[in-house]
């Protein structure tokens, strides 16, 4: 077998090695399983490692490669965030409530990945039910940032981001409700992409906030991100919000030439509270984009300042409705020691959910309650419409927006867990894309005191091609994506 450097290998490179028979899918998979065994004790990115499944998948992939019928992801070792159902494999949402839940069906994207014969290495840790920005809310384990294991990896897709950064998989799939792919990608120095709402099926994704949730890839490169999206995007009749649109060839549209490309810099994203090191890294990135021929100009999105408040009314409201199904009767954790049915119901939810999930359920129940619905939820929906309209207007004059992904680099474990407001502010730059339903991507754009900084691009609805174009051009003009954590 050819020697393979797992720290640098991408999907594109692995595809070439596999197709040229320089390495087999089984050999590649065994290498990743060995690496997981070596580094998991320090990182804890996986909730479940599916070694037997991975070896079986790899053998099937090798057979397909031998037949010459392989596709982009055939034989590529990957991970799924543990709120994405995969039949026969536990899907816990990192919660006591679903600790022993094994779904009898696949999420649509799990089916797509099986059809391509990709290799499942396991399921990634997350904040419980995807509610959090640091993965400290997981009821099962504490994931650490590979760049500094005393720091958080971000959240809620902290396990996937850490796994990709630590080269414990080639790519992972996460979910993004308010920045849960892009923010941990920024903190872990990898590429994290949230597609347009409805572009990727949510069938089989355990719901948090249904009008905001979207599945997307975490990868080592922009090209890999485009390759994965190509495989998972598309209409699904089982998801009522799925978009029936033609999927372009994202990879063939990648280019390093930004001449005439219009990039807007929204002034509202450079605010008090942003780390000086992060701000400098992003402003330096803007200069690189100008050097690539882009037409860069300042724009304004004044309603952005309301996005955080809107999100923390809409998301908890939808969460309180979605999580009502966990009653201890049909599946999941059930508190048996109770004198009455109602006591059992109350005890199940009290003991099955962690503090952050309970906080959001109560916030949502309050916002939806009689007498407050109009004042909170209805008003939040009206402001959401204004935010969406504002983005539509600005994209008439620019192709993409460029801004920071997170206001800071990775913070110390325990620093913000007891201050919900400070924790929520970590997503201040990512939430607007979810509110508006538009695509966003975070790519590595610097190091501050040895910790990664993420540059974020946003584009108009279904303008992923523009998003990848800007991200790829910047990536290829710099070396930040080649920096690896010192583990």
Which residues have C-beta within 8 Å of that of residue 421, sequence separation ≥ 6? none
Could you tell me which residues come within 8 angstroms of residue 235 by beta carbon, excluding any fewer than 6 positions away?
242, 243, 244, 245
Q: Could you tell me whether strands 191-194 and 215-219 are parallel, antiparallel, or unpaired per DSSP bridges? A: antiparallel
Q: How far apart are CA 276 and CA 284, in angstroms?
A: 12
C-alpha to C-alpha distance for 24 and 1, rounded to whole angstroms: 8
Strands (E) in 82-210, as ranges, are 119-124, 171-175, 191-194
Q: Identify any residues that bridge with 456 across adjacent strands, giving them in sequence order.
A: 403, 442
Task: Tell me which of 24, 134, 157, 180 is the catalytic residue.
Answer: 180
Closest CA to 100 of 159, 57, 54, 47: 47
- Beta strands 46-49 and 119-124 are antiparallel
Residue 211 annotated to the active site: no
Strand partners, 194: 440
- Nearest by Cα to 226 from 235, 217, 214, 215: 217
Q: d(Cα 147, Cα 413) in Å, to the nearest integer?
A: 13
Please confirm, yes or no, whether 175 is among the known catalytic residues: no
* Residue 231 appears among annotated catalytic residues: no
Q: Which of 24, 81, 194, 225 is catalytic?
A: 81
In the numeric block, the tokens 């051009």 are attached to 473
Report in angstroms the alpha-carbon separations of 408 from 78, 117, 349, 445: 28, 38, 34, 13
Read off φ and ψ for residue 169, nearest 5 degrees. -165, 165
Structure tokens at 445: 């754009």
Tokens of 232: 């998972």
**Dist. CA 262–CA 401, nearest whole Å:** 9
| Options 138, 156, 167, 442, the catalytic residue | 156
Distances (CA, A) of 439 to 8, 114, 214, 226: 26, 25, 10, 13
DSSP annotation of 425: G
CA-based nearest residue to 98, from 146, 41, 139: 139
- Which residues partner with 15 through β-bridges? none
The catalytic residues are: 81, 156, 180
């Amino acid at each position: 077998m050819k020697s393979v450097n797992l720290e640098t290998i991408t999907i594109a490179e692995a595809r070439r090695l596999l197709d040229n028979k320089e390495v087999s899918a089984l050999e590649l998979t065994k290498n990743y399983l060995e690496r997981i065994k070596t580094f998991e004790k320090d990182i804890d990115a996986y909730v479940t490692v599916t070694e037997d499944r991975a070896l079986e998948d790899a053998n099937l992939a090798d057979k397909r490669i031998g037949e010459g019928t392989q596709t982009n992801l055939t034989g590529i070792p990957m991970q799924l965030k543990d709120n994405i159902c995969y039949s026969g494999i536990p899907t816990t949402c990192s919660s006591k409530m679903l600790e022993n839940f094994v779904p009898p069906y696949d999420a649509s994207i799990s089916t797509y990945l099986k059809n391509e014969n990709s290799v499942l290495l396991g399921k990634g840790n997350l904040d419980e039910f995807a509610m959090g920005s640091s993965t400290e809310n997981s009821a099962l384990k504490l994931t650490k940032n590979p760049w500094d294991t005393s720091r958080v990896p971000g959240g809620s897709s902290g396990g996937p981001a850490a796994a990709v950064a630590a080269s414990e998989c080639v790519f992972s799939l996460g979910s993004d409700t308010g920045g849960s792919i892009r923010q941990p990608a920024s903190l872990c120095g990898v590429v994290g992409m949230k597609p347009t709402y409805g572009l990727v099926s949510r069938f089989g994704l355990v719901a948090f906030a249904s009008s905001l949730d979207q599945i997307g890839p975490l990868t080592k490169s922009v090209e890999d991100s485009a390759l994965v999206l190509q495989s998972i995007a598309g209409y699904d009749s089982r998801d009522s919000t799925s978009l029936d649109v033609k999927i372009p060839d994202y990879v063939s549209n990648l280019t390093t030439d930004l001449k005439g490309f219009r990039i807007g810099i929204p002034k509202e994203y450079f605010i008090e509270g942003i780390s000086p090191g992060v701000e400098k890294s992003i402003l330096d990135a803007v200069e690189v984009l100008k050097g690539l021929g882009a037409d860069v100009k300042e724009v304004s999105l004044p309603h952005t300042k309301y996005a955080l408040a809107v999100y923390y009314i809409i998301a908890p409201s939808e969460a309180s409705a979605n999580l009502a199904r966990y009653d201890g009767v049909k599946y999941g954790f059930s508190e048996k020691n109770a004198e009455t049915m109602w006591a059992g119901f109350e005890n199940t939810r009290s003991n099955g959910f962690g503090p952050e999930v309970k906080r959001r359920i109560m916030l949502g129940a309050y916002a939806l309650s009689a007498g407050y619905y109009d004042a909170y939820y209805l008003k939040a929906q009206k402001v959401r419409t204004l935010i969406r309209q504002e983005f539509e207007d600005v994209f008439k004059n620019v192709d993409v927006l460029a801004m920071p992904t997170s206001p800071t680099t990775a913070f110390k474990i325990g620093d913000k867990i007891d201050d919900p407001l400070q924790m929520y502010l970590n997503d201040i730059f990512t939430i607007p894309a979810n509110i508006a339903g538009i695509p966003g991507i975070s790519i590595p754009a610097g190091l501050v005191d040895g910790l990664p900084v993420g540059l974020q691009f946003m584009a108009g609805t279904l303008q992923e091609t523009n998003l990848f174009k800007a991200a790829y051009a910047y990536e290829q003009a710099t070396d930040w994506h080649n920096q690896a954590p010192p583990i």
